[in-house]
């Protein structure tokens, strides 16, 4: 099963496409460019399921997915705590360097958007359910 998971937001969304626990592609895209990414990835990866996090911007994203990918089922998944977990995973993949490594990670913000990490967690929650 090819699954496209979205961490919705007002200005940007984390988007990943996966096959079970393998992430095939990931990105952080502006909501204005989301429709084209959805169409392109759906065609390229033959997506069979879409998952959307249930917080900020969920209804707008759900409507967009229904319009752009008709016939593909959409599920809503709880995304409580995904931002904190995503930040931890980001720092596990990109450890702070220099003087930043001396600061606790809880006091740091990643230097780039990490919404795609939250989308990975949303996918994992769906697969666990």
Summarised one tens digit per residue, pLDDT across range 37-82 is 999 999 999 999 999 999 888 899 999 999 999 999 999 999 999 9
The residue range of the domain holding 92 is: 2-128
CATH assignment of the domain containing 108: 3.30.420.140
104 contact partners, CB below 8 Å, separation of at least 6: none
Q: Determine the Cα–Cα distance for residues 71 and 66; give it in Å rounded to an integer.
A: 8
Q: What is the pLDDT of residue 106?
A: 84
The pLDDT-based confidence of 21 (bands split at 50, 70, 90) is confident
Give how many domains the chain has, as a whole number.
Answer: 1
Beta bridge partners, 53, equal 77
């Amino acid at each position: 099963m090819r699954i496209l998971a979205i961490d919705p937001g007002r200005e940007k969304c984390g988007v990943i496409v996966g096959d079970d626990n393998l992430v095939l592609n990931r990105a952080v895209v502006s909501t204005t460019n989301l429709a084209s990414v959805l169409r392109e990835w759906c065609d390229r990866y033959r997506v069979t399921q879409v998952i959307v996090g249930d917080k900020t911007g969920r209804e707008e994203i759900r409507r967009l997915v229904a319009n752009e990918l008709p016939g593909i089922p959409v599920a809503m998944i709880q995304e409580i705590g995904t931002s904190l977990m995503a930040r931890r995973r980001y720092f596990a993949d990109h450890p702070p360097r220099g003087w930043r490594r001396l600061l606790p990670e809880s006091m740091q913000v990643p230097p780039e958007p990490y919404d795609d990490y939250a989308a990975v967690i949303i996918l994992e929650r769906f697969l666990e359910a």
